[in-house]
Homo-oligomer: A and B are copies of this chain.
Amino acid sequence: MNSMSEKNDTKSDVARSDITREKLLENALDVFGRYGFDGASTRKITNAAGVNLQAIPYYFGSKEGLYIATADYLANIIGQYIGGMRQRMAEQIAALDATGMPLGEAQARLFLNEIVETMVVLFVSKKSEAWARFIIREQMEPTAAFERVYSGVMGPMIGLGRRLIGAIIADDPASENVRLRCLSFVGSLMVFRMANAAVLAQMEWDAIGDKEIARLQQHARRLVAALGPAKGEIS
């Protein structure tokens, strides 16, 4: 059924091989995210993964090769989590476009609500800590890995966000205004992941559990509800 069982005589080797690769990537994501490329040592990664130090040059050529592979791996994981939702929405929107019907504001708000609720859960989940650290590092000091994560996940997702926000505030999704609004909207949620320490201090929370997640989801829905056409500025 899967690639692990093509041949009987190599089955266990291939399986071990895949497990070692997977473990390495999993732990590389965590350690690279935590300490950065320079700060992360291959020893730390292989120890955490429970594999031999030589597995890195063997499977990925070098530490740098592992880093790039980790970026692809990350884009892949996130894609698995949100790709289905994104594709479903993109298809429904495309179907509307095909009929010439505009995407309605109410429908867009429903879609956006679904997205933000998923995002909030993702942002505060234990596993996304590592992902977020990796991505934020790449944002600050982009390497060759950034392009892989951006074009694989972030770009398409922001594109969908622009489309939805455009429908909600009745503006062209390609306009500067919608782009800025969309980025700010993402920021208004992302802050709960990126500024984790400050958030906990401000909210006087010890940690983010089920109660806090529910609170954040409510807050996220309110942010969606607060989206509206631009008002006049003061001064």
Which residues does A use to contact B, with CB under 8 Å?
34-39, 106, 109-110, 113, 132-133, 136, 138-142, 146, 150, 154-155, 158, 176-177, 179-192, 194-199, 201-203, 215-216, 218-219, 221-226, 228, 230-235
Contacts and interface: CB of A to CB of B under 8 A. Distances in A.
A13 to B, nearest CB: 36
A33 B177 CA distance: 32
A223 to B, nearest CB: 6
A226 B110 CA distance: 21
Given A110-B234, A187-B191, A188-B191, 16 more contacts: A38-B38, A110-B235, A113-B234, A133-B141, A139-B194, A155-B201, A177-B219, A180-B203, A183-B192, A183-B195, A183-B198, A184-B188, A184-B189, A186-B195, A225-B231, A226-B228
A113 B235 CA distance: 9
Cβ-closest 4 pairs across A and B: A187-B191, A38-B39, A184-B188, A39-B39
A218 B140 CA distance: 24
B231 A195 contact: no
Chain A interface, DSSP helix/strand/loop, else mixed: helix
A194 B194 contact: yes
Choose among A176, A192, A233 the residue with the greatest number of B CB atoms under 10 Å from its CB.
Answer: A233
Given A109-B234, A188-B184, A195 B139 contact: yes
25 contacts: A36-B38, A38-B38, A133-B140, A133-B141, A136-B194, A139-B196, A140-B197, A150-B198, A150-B201, A158-B198, A158-B202, A177-B219, A185-B188, A187-B187, A187-B188, A187-B192, A188-B191, A194-B194, A218-B233, A221-B233, A221-B235, A222-B230, A222-B233, A225-B234, A226-B231
A133 B142 CA distance: 12
